Chain A
Amino acid sequence: MEVKKIVLPESELPRQWYNIQADMPTPLEPVLHPGTGEPVGPDDLAPFFPMPLIEQEVSQERFIDIPEEILEKYLIWRPTPLYRAYGLEKHLDTPAKIYFKNEGVSPAGSHKPNTAIAQAYYNKISGTKKITTETGAGQWGSALAFCCSLFGIECKVFMVKISYDQKPYRRIMMETWGATCVPSPSTETESGRKILEKNPDSPGSLGIAISEAAEAAALDEDTKYSLGSVLNHVLLHQTVNGLECQKQMAIAGDYPDMIIGCVGGGSNFAGLCLPFVRDKINGKDIDILGVEPASCPTMTRGPFAYDFGDTVQKLPLAPMYTLGHSFVPAPIHAGGLRYHGMSPIVSQLVLDNLIRAESVQQLETFQAGITFARTEGFISAPETDHAIAMVIREAIKAKEEGKEKVILFNWSGHGLVDMAAYESYLSGQLSDHALPEEEIRRALEDIAPLPKPKQYRPGTIS
C-alpha cells in the first residue's frame, strides 16, 4: 500500500518561525505617514498591538523562537498532515505528483489559528485583557475566539448584524469558545450608537464593525485589536506550516518543482512558501505561484507603487501591488480574497521574481473544488478552490508535456460552513467575469504621479 499521508511526530514540530525579511534581496520599503512622509513607528501601532508583535513586524532576525506556551497549543492540531493526492492524480491521468498540506484540521478549520495563537499569547504576556476584531461570516473571528480561549483572554468580535442573523454557525463557534459576539452596530461604542440613532434597524456593514472593533481597542489601554492577514508578523507565524512541510517532503523523498497557494492578504500562501523561497534564494530551482481571482488582479497585473488608502489621500502610504486608489475589485467568491492591497512581503517577492502570480475565473475554481471533493473527499473553502484550480491546470500541462512534475499546494481550509456558495455554483447562478484591460489601465492612471519606491517597475498590462 502506498503512503497516503505523512504525519510528523510531535517532536518534529518546528521550534522557530522563519523570518523572510532577513533574506529578502530587496528590503521592505517602510510604510510612510502621509502627513510627515516619515516611516510609521511603534508609537503609531501601539494602540492596537502589543510590543512583541510590533517588534516582530520589523525584525530582521532570520529565525525567531516559538515560545514553549505556543508550541504546547500548536500541538492540539499541529503538525498537520501532508497528503499525496493519488485520487486527483488518477482522475487527471497525470504523471505529476500532487501533494497538499491540510491546514483544515485546526479546530477552527483553517490556517488562521497559526497566527491567532501567537497573537493571543503575546497579548497575554503583555497584559492585554481583551482583544477585539471584526468579522463577516466569521472565519477569522472564530479562529481568534478559539485561541483567546486557550490563553484566558477576553475576546470580543463585532459581527456584522446581517451576518450575525443569517449565519449562526460560526457565531455559535465563537460563543462556544467563550468569545462575546456582538451584532454590529452595537450600543457598546460611540460609532455604533451614532448609527443606531439614525437607523435602529441597521443591518450593519464591515466598515461599521471595523470602526467599532478599532474604537474599542483605541479607547481602552487594556484592549488590543487583532488582524489575521497582510502584516509581517502574521506571515511570520504562518511559516510554521512551510517549515513542517519541508520535513515532510524530505520524508516523502520528493522536493516540489512547483508550490501553489491562493492569495488574498497573503498569509496562507506565504506560510507554506516562504521557507521554500529561502531555498530558492539559495539556488533551488522552484516555481512558486500565488493564485488570485481573475477579476481582482492586484498582484497579477498591477504595478508596484506607493498607493494612498483613500481618495482624499490622508492615509499613510505603503508599498504594495495595487491597481490604484480608484480601483474597485470585481466580484469574487472567496471570503479571504478580498483585500485591496497585498501583503508587502508578498508584493516585494513578486517584484524580485521569487514568486509569481496567476489568476483563475470563478467558475473554474468551483469546478476544481468539486473535482477535488469527488476525488480526495475534502470539501474546500471557496478561496482554497483557487489553488486547486491552478493545480489541475498544471497537472494537465504536465501530462501534455510528459513531465513528472512535483506539485505542492496549501489546502488552507474546509468549506463546511460555506456550502451556500457551492449551492449557487451547482444551481448555475454563478458566471465568469474578467476585468477588462481598459478598466485596469484607467485605474492605474490615478497612481502614476505618486512617488515611486526605489525599485519601482511598471506592471505588465499591455
Chain B
Amino acid sequence: MKKETMPPGNDYLIRCPRLGHQIYFSYCRSENMGLPCFKTLDCWFQHFPVEDYLREELKPQEWEMVFSKPPKPKLLSLLELAEKAKKET
C-alpha cells in the first residue's frame, strides 16, 4: 500500500477495534479529550507515517501522556469507580 505523508481524509475509513465499526483518522486524533486515542499508532501505522506525524503535532508531555499510559482493564476501572462512589457518599 502506498504510504502518504499526511493523514488520510474523512472518507478513508478503517475499523476501530474499540468501538467495533469503521472510523476516520481525525476522530482517532482527538478521541482522548483532544489528544489521540491510545491506539492511534497501532491502528494507523499501516496507512501513513502516523508516528512521525504525531511527534510533530504533539508536545513531548502530551506524547508521554497518551502513548505511555495503558488502557485500564474494565474490572479494575470499575473497582476504582466503586471506591470513588463510596467516598462521595
Question: Which residue numbers of A lie inside 8 Å of B, CB to CB?
Answer: 31, 33, 40, 43-48, 136-139, 160, 162-163, 166-167, 195, 199, 203, 205-207, 210-211, 214-215, 218-219, 225, 227, 229-231, 265, 295, 307, 309-311, 314-316, 318, 320, 324-341, 382, 418, 420-421, 424, 429, 431, 433
* B42 & A339 in contact (Cβ 8 Å cutoff): no
- Asked if A218 and B81 sit within 8 Å, CB to CB, the answer is yes
A-B contact pairs, 7 of them (CB 8 A): A44-B86, A46-B82, A218-B84, A230-B73, A231-B75, A315-B72, A316-B76
What distance in Å separates the Cβ of B89 from its nearest Cβ neighbour in chain A? 8
Q: For residues 35 through 89 of chain B, which have their beta carbon under 8 Å from a beta carbon of chain A?
A: 37-39, 41-43, 45-46, 67-86, 88
A374 to B26, CA, bound (A): 36
Q: Is the CB of B15 within 8 A of A329?
A: no
B6 at the interface (CB under 8 A from A): no
Asked if A328 and B42 make an inter-chain contact with CB atoms under 8 angstroms apart, the answer reads: yes
- A119 to B25, alpha carbons, bound, how many Å? 37
A167 engages B21 (CB within 8 Å): yes
Assess whether B79 is in contact with A314, with CB atoms less than 8 Å apart. Answer: no
The answer to whether A205 and B32 touch across the interface, beta carbons within 8 angstroms, is yes
Report the nearest B residue to A204, measured CB to CB. Answer: B31
Whether A48 touches B78, Cβ cut-off 8 Å, given contacts A328-B39, A424-B15, A431-B46, is yes
- Are A328 and B23 also in contact (CB < 8 A) when A40-B79, A309-B77, A314-B80 are? no
Within the assembled complex, what's the spacing in Å between the Cα atoms of A215 and B82? 9
A138 to B43 Cα, complex, angstroms: 21
Q: Whole-angstrom distance from the CB of B71 to the nearest CB of chain A?
A: 5
Taken together as a complex, chains A and B put the C-alpha atoms of A408 and B13 apart, in Å, by: 35
1/0 per residue B11-25: CB within 8 Å of A?
Answer: 001111111111100
| Residue from the list B23, B42, B67, B69 in contact with A329, Cβ < 8 A | B42
A211 to B77, CA, bound (A): 9
B38 & A328 in contact (Cβ 8 Å cutoff): yes
How many residues of B are counted as interface, with CB atoms below 8 angstroms from the partner's CB atoms?
46
Which chain A residues lie closer than 8 Å to B72 at the CB level? 309-310, 315, 340
A295:B42 contact, CB within 8 angstroms: yes
Contact status A214-B75, CB under 8 Å: no
Name the one of A162, A227, A311, A315 contacting B27, with C-beta atoms under 8 angstroms: A162
Contact check: which of B21, B31, B39, B76 meets A166 at CB < 8 Å?
Answer: B21
| A209 vs chain B, min Cβ distance (A) | 10
Are the CB atoms of A210 and B77 closer together than 8 Å?
A: yes
| Chain A residues positioned under 8 Å from B18 (CB to CB) | 136, 206, 335, 338
A136 in contact with B42 (CB, 8 Å):
no
Tell me, in angstroms, the Cα distance from A166 to B15 when the chains sit together: 13
Q: Please report the C-alpha to C-alpha distance between residue A320 and residue B81 in the assembled complex, in whole angstroms.
A: 20
Contact A332 B17 (CB under 8 A): yes
Considering the chains assembled together, what is the distance between the CA atoms of A98 and B3 in angstroms? 41
Q: Are A420 and B73 in contact (CB under 8 A)?
A: no
Cross-chain contact A309 with B73 (CB below 8 angstroms): yes
> In the complex, which of the residues B20, B22, B31, B71 contacts A328, with contact meaning CB atoms closer than 8 Å?
B71
Q: Apart from A218-B81, A333-B17, A420-B15, list 16 A-B contacts with CB within 8 A.
A: A46-B82, A47-B85, A163-B21, A206-B19, A210-B77, A211-B81, A219-B88, A230-B75, A231-B75, A309-B77, A310-B69, A311-B68, A318-B75, A320-B73, A340-B73, A424-B15
